[in-house]
Amino acid sequence: MIIFLNNRTVTIERCFQLKSIEQIETFLVLAECGSFTETAKRLYRSQPAVTNQIQKLEEMVGASLFKRSGKAVQLTKSGEIYLAYARQMNRLMEEASEQIRKSAKQQVLSVYASIYLSNYYFADILDRFNRDNPKQVMEIYSFCYDDLKRALMEKRTDFAFMPYYSEDENIHDQFDYIELFQEQFQLILPSDHPWASRKLLLGRDLQNEKILLPSSSYFQKIVSEQMELSGVNVTFLQMSNFELIRQAVKSHLGLAFLPSSVVADEIRRGELVVRPVSGLHIRRRNGIIIRKNASLSPIETAFCTIAQNHFQSHAQPI
């Protein structure tokens, strides 16, 4: 296949020799949205990186592909010609990737899950799955929310076990959601804290307290909104995950809102206590995020079904 642009002959083979896969992706997104800023946002790249990719592509084909008008861009005539072929190349690359993924899926089951869900809930699920599929080889990738989202957006996986925040528009628009369970977060205190003897706390008790939060901006927003509704000012300190927060609370570095599963052992040993706070309702949904129109393999579907059945049988009221 040959493309004629600006009196130059450019073979498809030469396009791919010049790292054009990434350039084609950048070109297609920019052609769709007409904005360098929006393209950088969608591709998780810097704007200069996007500009550089387009400049290299234009140098390669020997023609301007976009007309710049302020912050907006439009395809030139050459850009419109290239767009048709870029779509074909992108479709072929996606078909090749899909065939490769299908081949790999027949051999290894890859499961992506949040650190929280894999640490506290996957033991029983994996045990049941292994009993039903003793010869199946599998691998577990455990990440924080942002890294899981990146894996989904980069199409390294079609599904993931993770928290669900309806405010995250990228996830909401491009993926379906199967809820596994909702959970209530309650205030966690060291067992020797002055409030440990109280059965119920009031929102105003938290005034000027240090509250430890995980790195997820969406969960931080949930907690901060609840503080605002209660009319209290607190100091938020960020830590990377629930495990570090649990240890920090034990060391009297601050207080935290955590799910009971994270601190079950410490509560049983009398190291930490859980106390409800009147008027505060901090909840989070957890589930399976699945790419819209994705076709999961039979073994992927089987794993998801076992997980759903597990949480249904262990459902607890919020």
Spatial contact of 252 and 189, defined as CB atoms under 8 Å apart: no
Q: Please indicate, yes or no, if residue 308 is contained in any of the structural domains.
A: no
- Other residues' Cβ atoms within 10 Å of the Cβ of residue 124: 13
Helix (H) / strand (E) containing 38 = helix 36-43
Q: Which of 98, 119, 154 is the last residue of a domain?
A: 98
Residue numbers of the chain with a pLDDT score lower than 50: 1-18, 317-318
What is the reported pLDDT for 290? Answer: 97
State the CATH number of the domain containing residue 85.
Answer: 1.10.10.10
State the angle between helix axes of 20-33 and 47-61 in degrees (0 to 180), rounded to the nearest 10. Answer: 110
Q: What is the pTM of this model?
A: 0.65
Helix (H, G, I), strand (E, B), or coil: what is residue 314?
coil
* Tokens found for residue 154: 């980069």
Spatial contact of 230 and 206, defined as CB atoms under 8 Å apart: yes
What is the reported pLDDT for 316? Answer: 54
Q: Please indicate, yes or no, if residue 269 is contained in any of the structural domains.
A: yes
Q: Please indicate, yes or no, if residue 117 is contained in any of the structural domains.
A: no
Q: Which of 98, 122, 148 is the last residue of a domain?
A: 98
Q: Which of 67, 98, 129 is the last residue of a domain?
A: 98
**Domain extent at residue 220:** 182-284
Question: Which has the closest alpha carbon to 283: 213, 226, 229?
Answer: 226
What is the reported pLDDT for 106? Answer: 58
As for how many domains the chain has, the answer is: 2
